[in-house]
Structure 1
Amino acid sequence: MSDGYSKNTMTRNSKPPDLELYVKGVPFHLHNETLAKKSAKVTTLLECKKIDELRWILKDIDVEPTTFFLVVRFCYGYKIHLSSENILSVLCTAYYLEMNDDHISNNLLNKAVTFLEQRLLMSWNETVKALAVCSDKILDKISVVGLTEVFLDSLLEKALKDPSLLEYLTTLPLRLYEPLIQEASKHNVSVENLVESVYNYAKRYVFEKYSGDESVSRNKRQVLEAVERLLPHQRGAISCGFLFKSLKESMFLDASPDCRKGFEDRISKQLDMATSKDLMILLPNKVGGGAYDTNLLKTILQSFYSNYNVSDVSRFVSVARMLEEFLLDAAASDAGLSVETFKAFGEITFAASCDVLRYSDGIYRAVDVFLERHRDDLTETEKMEACRVLDCKKLSPEACEHASKNEKLPLRIVVQVLFFAQKQIQDKVAREMESVEDKDDDDDIEDMNKKLLRLDIESDYSEKREIENLECVVHCVKEKKEERKISVWREVKRKFGCMTSLTVDACNCHIKKRKKTYHHYK
């Protein structure tokens, strides 16, 4: 390589070279006067007789040998080819060497700027390509001369006309990508385009396979923290899968507390939109292992219940069902799932579902699968521990029948199931009798209301007294029925430590919705 450089640079000068420069280990044998003719900086050093400094003239900039070769060829009068891959490096080198038109007309810096204006900035792809190959030192240099803003303004102008272009910025350095997306978010750019762009960037620099290199890990952490800052906070704007992946990476990469909390908050706002598959992302990888942080799930649930109130019935039900599916999937997929972890999952799931879903058949199915998966490696004591998440009172008649014949269950659990199965029959009879009484009460109320309508408002005092007495009876009957209702949402929030200033009246306003029966997962 050095012979090639020496041969090309000496062709148009018969004198022996009097300057030897090294650029990243590659030698260049040059002529002082040839460089000085194009470079004001070289001229100054020669006039001051600072030959030693001239030998180290390029130490302050990160120039590649191929780039310097282009600059040298220009000094020796050869035609050079500028492209998006080399233009910024050539421009910075020419700027550093003071190869401007004040020193000699039609100099290299002028040619580079002209190429920049007429070719590079006119094209989105060429601009992105040029910025993608820049080193940090080159980016520092173009920032000093104010070119960074020029590039960002050019890209932003094009992106505002066609927001889909933002999806094709994965090659940009983070120091350019983040301010560009931040600026785009201030304009009328759709959330979908912004999120898609950020997702693609994270996919390239964060979710790729971990190499174990500390510098790579540090870069991933920086990108992930920037991703969290760039993502919107609107409910449903980001897929739950992406949020769970990001949260897992934030823990693995030891990202900042603000970064982790940002992902947790976004998840909690739309937890009812998540699936068991999303939640499974947080389980430790089979390669490398690790313990599952059950406290993390509790934190997310606490935040979720704090965000919503009793009017959000469907969201409470969705979360309860999702947790039962997750418990089942975790039991089925992870052979290494310990009894302690399964029990912790089960307790969380039961707390979320016991006052929301009529039956806990999903938990029973998960217990059944867990016992089957560990049929040969659990003691009776451990089986009993795994079954502690079961509430036999919450099993449907079908589940009770299955459990009463389930040989995997401890005998004590089977006995409890049989006992509560019998009690279910008794309760059913009692409810049927109560429904008859309620119907009689409703008939009485209807008769009373009809009688009230027949009364003449202008009647004498005795008739008014009769109206008052009838109204009192109606009120007492209704009040007695309301006392039978349970504040479901108040109890759920209490279990997750996120009680609000919810009143009993507020809780009772959605009784009809809570009477809906949810038998099984699909």
Structure 2
Amino acid sequence: MFNQDTQPNKMFYQDAQPRRKVNQCVSFPSNQQGATGKTSLERRKNRWFIQTNVTSDLIINVEENIFHLHKVPMVSKSVYINKLVFEGRNNGGTNSVLSINIENLPGGSLMLELIVRFCYGLPINLNVTNVAPLYCAAHFLDMNEDFEQGNLISKTEAFFSFIIFSSWKHTIQILKSCEAIPSLPKELKLEKRCIESLAWKASLETKSIFKGENMHNSTDKEIWWFEDVSVLRVDHFVELIKEVKRKNMRFRLVGSCIEYWASKRLLAMAKHGFDSTEKDVQRVTVGSLIEILPVEENSVSCSFLLHILKAGLMFDIDPELTRQLENRLALMLEKCCVEDLIVRNYRENEGIYDVGIVVKVVKAYAKYFTSNSTSTMYMIASLVDEYLVSIVARDDRLSVKNFLSLIEALPKNARVWHDKLYTAMDMYLKSHPTLTEEERSSICKFLQYDKLSKVAKNHAMKNDRLPLKVTIKFLLLEQVHMTRSILAVGSNFVRTKSQAIVRRELGKRWVKAQKEIAFMKDEMEKMKMQFNDLEKCGGTLRNKMGLYLKSM
């Protein structure tokens, strides 16, 4: 009888609500004595004995366990055991106890115990944790309806079908139990049926009933079933995502589910490191997640893509997949904020934040989108400078190379103003007081005087953290700038005043100008005459000096 307090027509909606634990199982009561009379099954260490009035004539070895049984009840239910017994007799067995080995039985000795109980008519409890391995074991032993009506395959099939139709969480438990069985669940389509059931329920649920306040209305995150499916193995999760896509689930919801699964199963583990075996598994995992990402814009966040890119580089996934991620991030960069670019490092010898990931994306943007409008490039430069100021400039473990690589990722003409860049440089120099003069010079080599505001220039010329040659350069440029300004202001003043006078007193000014010109001409003539006289005097002096030198 089925022991459950839910009805099939209520389906899975109750699984989304808090309720008391359901003992969902089916018990096959003993309704036959069998050929051996009253029976019971007892275990002594790794040996199992059927207690009957008939001597055991069959031994089945599974793993390191030995079952002392009888041929009739076992061969009457299983084509596979019947075949082994028949082959054993043909190989010389007569009335002696026959011993057979069963290798690779799904579920091993635990499932054989249930099968023995079924064959002897003893009560067994069929539940969500053992129905899948028992179903596979029944198929392995070929316990079908053609051999005997009401055999184990049909009974486990009926229970399995009811569970995946009626219960969301128990379907997940069944799918998890399939992980321990190498191939049969896939061959028998158990996994496929579980996944289709989950996808159908998730799609139907998200279209109608959500779990109240636990749902963020604006972002579609933290839907109740995200947590449930986060326990699934990656191959099962990937198939589930493919199935919900086929059912036209909203792409943002699909993307949010992938983000949640990755945060639970993959990204949170990155900081602990992996051995070589785990690295191979994670390489496949990351690659699989990238391949199932929805292609629609805004289906996943920029922050998640950066983290999955970091994981991909860490686990050496296919370079083509990393290139796709970089290009996708480059497309999203114009809509990102500084918080989206935060990716932490977990290694002690590196900076707090992974600047290299951001550099890759910015370079991808600069490479593929240089044809964009100049204003767009300015916007990305502003984002990068804000990231430097707000996030990484104070990191005392950030190397000079990484700091410069982020500045150099964009073309030189990408920045209209250098105030934020100067602030970031000053903060970096302050948090790295032991830098050499050469290192400080390399930090400031991109700083342009003419792109700084007046306030920033004044601060820079008094900043003793800047390299000396940069300070001197700025002081000289400031002097040149001031000189040009004074000359420009004076010239403009004279020109403006002259124009006003001409408009008011054109006649007077013309006469005065003519007199001044005549006066200047007279003065020039006088100067010419004086110059000629000086030339003559100079010639006389040279001659006298020559004669004096000859006389000596």
Which interval holds the TM-score relative to the shorter structure? 0.7 to 0.9
| Residue 229 (structure 1) aligns with | 291
Backbone CA RMSD of aligned residues: 3.4
**Contact kept in structure 2, 1:40 and 1:99, CA below 8 Å:** yes
* Aligned ranges 1:24-423 → 2 under 5 Å: 25-49=64-88, 57-135=101-179, 137-138=181-182, 140-163=183-206, 167=226, 168-209=228-269, 210-281=272-343, 284-287=345-348, 289=350, 297=359, 300-303=362-365, 306-307=368-369, 310=372, 313=375, 315-329=376-390, 332-348=393-409, 351=411, 354-357=413-416, 359-375=417-433, 377-422=434-479
Query: 1:293 Cα shift?
Result: 8.1
**Contact kept in structure 1, 2:359 and 2:405, CA below 8 Å:** no
Q: 1:100 to 1:310 in 2, by over 3 A?
A: closer
Query: 1:325 Cα shift?
Result: 2.3
Q: How many residues align?
A: 427
Identical aligned pairs, as a percentage?
23
TM-score scaled by structure 2? 0.69
State how far apart, in whole Å, the 1-side matches of 2:273 and 2:408 are: 37
Q: 1:366 to 1:431 in 2, by over 3 A?
A: farther
Q: 1:393 to 1:97 in 2, by over 3 A?
A: same
State how far apart, in whole Å, the 1-side matches of 2:115 and 2:492 are: 95
Query: 1:231 Cα shift?
Result: 0.9
* Counterpart residue identity of residue 144, structure 1: E
Q: 1:118 to 1:379 in 2, by over 3 A?
A: closer
**Contact kept in structure 2, 1:45 and 1:51, CA below 8 Å:** no
Query: 1:194 Cα shift?
Result: 0.3
* Aligned ranges 1:372-521 → 2 under 5 Å: 372-375=430-433, 377-422=434-479
Query: 1:410 Cα shift?
Result: 1.8
**Contact kept in structure 1, 2:326 and 2:360, CA below 8 Å:** no
State how far apart, in whole Å, the 1-side matches of 2:372 and 2:85 are: 82
| Residue 11 (structure 1) aligns with | 51
Gap regions ≥5 residues in structure 1: 437-522
State how far apart, in whole Å, the 2-side matches of 1:333 and 1:82 are: 61
Q: 1:289 to 1:62 in 2, by over 3 A?
A: farther
State how far apart, in whole Å, the 2-side matches of 1:26 and 1:324 are: 68
* Counterpart residue identity of residue 18, structure 1: L
**Contact kept in structure 2, 1:241 and 1:278, CA below 8 Å:** yes
Partner SS, residue 126 of structure 1? helix
**Contact kept in structure 1, 2:241 and 2:292, CA below 8 Å:** yes
State how far apart, in whole Å, the 2-side matches of 1:433 and 1:243 are: 58
* Counterpart residue identity of residue 233, structure 1: V
State how far apart, in whole Å, the 2-side matches of 1:298 and 1:206 are: 22
**Contact kept in structure 1, 2:106 and 2:136, CA below 8 Å:** no
Query: 1:155 Cα shift?
Result: 2.5
Query: 1:266 Cα shift?
Result: 1.6
| Residue 488 (structure 1) aligns with | none
| Residue 21 (structure 1) aligns with | 61
Query: 1:113 Cα shift?
Result: 0.9
Q: 1:380 to 1:118 in 2, by over 3 A?
A: closer
| Residue 215 (structure 2) aligns with | none
- Give per-residue Cα distances to partners, 1:63-83, cap 9 Å, x unaligned: 243222212221222111111
State how far apart, in whole Å, the 2-side matches of 1:221 and 1:87 are: 32
State how far apart, in whole Å, the 2-side matches of 1:240 and 1:221 are: 21
**Contact kept in structure 2, 1:235 and 1:269, CA below 8 Å:** no
- Give per-residue Cα distances to partners, 1:265-295, cap 9 Å, x unaligned: 22111112334444342x7534254997859
State how far apart, in whole Å, the 2-side matches of 1:389 and 1:336 are: 22
Q: 1:399 to 1:55 in 2, by over 3 A?
A: farther
**Contact kept in structure 1, 2:135 and 2:157, CA below 8 Å:** yes
State how far apart, in whole Å, the 1-side matches of 2:248 and 2:400 are: 52
State how far apart, in whole Å, the 1-side matches of 2:142 and 2:318 are: 43
Partner SS, residue 121 of structure 1? helix
* Counterpart residue identity of residue 109, structure 1: I
Q: 1:342 to 1:148 in 2, by over 3 A?
A: closer
State how far apart, in whole Å, the 1-side matches of 2:491 and 2:173 are: 77
**Contact kept in structure 2, 1:343 and 1:388, CA below 8 Å:** no
State how far apart, in whole Å, the 1-side matches of 2:136 and 2:275 are: 31
Q: 1:202 to 1:58 in 2, by over 3 A?
A: farther
* Counterpart residue identity of residue 46, structure 1: V
- Give per-residue Cα distances to partners, 1:311-368, cap 9 Å, x unaligned: 583x43432122112333565343233333333333335x36x4443x2011111221
Q: 1:241 to 1:407 in 2, by over 3 A?
A: same
- Give per-residue Cα distances to partners, 1:184-240, cap 9 Å, x unaligned: 223321112101211122123321324423222222111111110111233332111
**Contact kept in structure 2, 1:84 and 1:120, CA below 8 Å:** no
TM-score scaled by structure 1? 0.72
State how far apart, in whole Å, the 1-side matches of 2:431 and 2:458 are: 22
Partner SS, residue 127 of structure 2? coil
Higher RCO (CA < 8 A, seq sep 6+)? 1
**Contact kept in structure 1, 2:78 and 2:147, CA below 8 Å:** yes
Query: 1:244 Cα shift?
Result: 0.8
State how far apart, in whole Å, the 1-side matches of 2:203 and 2:357 are: 43
State how far apart, in whole Å, the 2-side matches of 1:429 and 1:233 are: 60
State how far apart, in whole Å, the 1-side matches of 2:77 and 2:446 are: 82
* Counterpart residue identity of residue 79, structure 1: P
Gap regions ≥5 residues in structure 2: 1-41, 207-222, 494-552
State how far apart, in whole Å, the 2-side matches of 1:373 and 1:411 are: 18
